């Protein structure tokens, strides 16, 4: 098991990519704190699956948009399973909006959850690691949308910010043995791309990719496991694109 003895906090873990990461971390031996905003039963189902691997699991309801509460979220996770040495900033939103119709409220909501929360929850976790003289890994969730796209100027800007934030965090935390990397998923089989897309449209989108399909959440989760584990011990400040070849960098 690649993550035996580790303590992980995964935000937005009740569904989609977050769910897959929480389960894969548990499969690999990590104790897991499952954060969710809503969908308590979905979060409980993730917890039950994680517990089958014999690890400690806690469910933590909390809105990452409530920035002053993020330190408390880190404290609750630590109290439940021990000092968090793996953080996955997965929670995010993508309300589609054409640039000409984009409102300040939508811009602020997207940046607060996708970017600002990632910064300050990571800060709360990193401060605890430094105080405990422990090393760790932080994984931020970027997106293939850093390349831009229709109805996504605000979202692309937030995820581009995540890439830059990851580099800055990595630089400041490297001397403390805390590695920071990002994952940029492409089209993935979750609820998000189904907003505004039919099943037939998603199949067609997948068919146009070099790998002829969209990703499974589990394929993002195994990438997260790599970045969390000692297998990536010489990597920090990097963004790994998992997009089926939709663009190659």
Q: Which residues are catalytic?
A: 155
Asked if residues 16 and 191 have their Cβ atoms less than 8 Å apart, the reply is: yes
DSSP state of 189: S
CA dihedral 123, 17, 166, 36 (to 10 degrees): -20
In the chain, alpha helices (H): 16-27, 40-51, 70-81, 104-111, 117-132, 153-173, 191-194, 199-207, 217-228
**CA–CA dist 82, 2 (Å, integer):** 18
**CA–CA dist 19, 15 (Å, integer):** 5
**CA–CA dist 35, 56 (Å, integer):** 14
**CA–CA dist 140, 184 (Å, integer):** 9
**CA–CA dist 247, 102 (Å, integer):** 27
**CA–CA dist 179, 237 (Å, integer):** 8
């Amino acid at each position: 098991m690649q993550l035996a003895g580790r303590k992980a906090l995964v935000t937005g873990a009740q569904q989609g990519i977050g769910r897959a990461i929480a389960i894969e971390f548990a499969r690999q031996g990590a104790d897991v704190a499952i954060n969710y905003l809503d969908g308590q039963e979905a979060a409980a189902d993730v917890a039950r699956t994680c517990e089958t691997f014999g690890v400690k699991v806690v469910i933590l309801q909390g809105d990452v948009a409530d920035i002053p509460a993020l330190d408390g979220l880190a404290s609750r996770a630590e109290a439940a399973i021990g000092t968090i040495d793996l953080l996955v900033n997965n929670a995010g939103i993508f309300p589609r909006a054409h640039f000409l119709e984009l409102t300040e409220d939508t811009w602020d909501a997207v940046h607060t959850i996708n970017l600002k929360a990632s910064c300050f929850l990571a800060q709360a976790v990193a401060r605890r690691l430094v105080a405990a003289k422990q090393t760790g890994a932080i994984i931020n969730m970027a997106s293939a949308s850093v390349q831009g796209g229709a109805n996504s100027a605000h979202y692309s800007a937030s995820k581009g910010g995540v890439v830059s934030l990851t580099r800055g965090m990595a630089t400041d935390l490297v001397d403390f043995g805390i590695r920071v990397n990002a994952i940029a998923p492409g089209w993935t089989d979750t609820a998000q791309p189904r907003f505004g897309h039919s099943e037939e449209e998603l199949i067609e989108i997948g068919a146009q990719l070099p790998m002829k399909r969209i990703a499974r959440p589990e394929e993002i989760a195994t990438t997260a496991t790599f970045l969390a584990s000692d297998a990536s011990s010489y990597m920090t400040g990097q963004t790994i694109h998992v997009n089926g070849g939709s663009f190659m960098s």
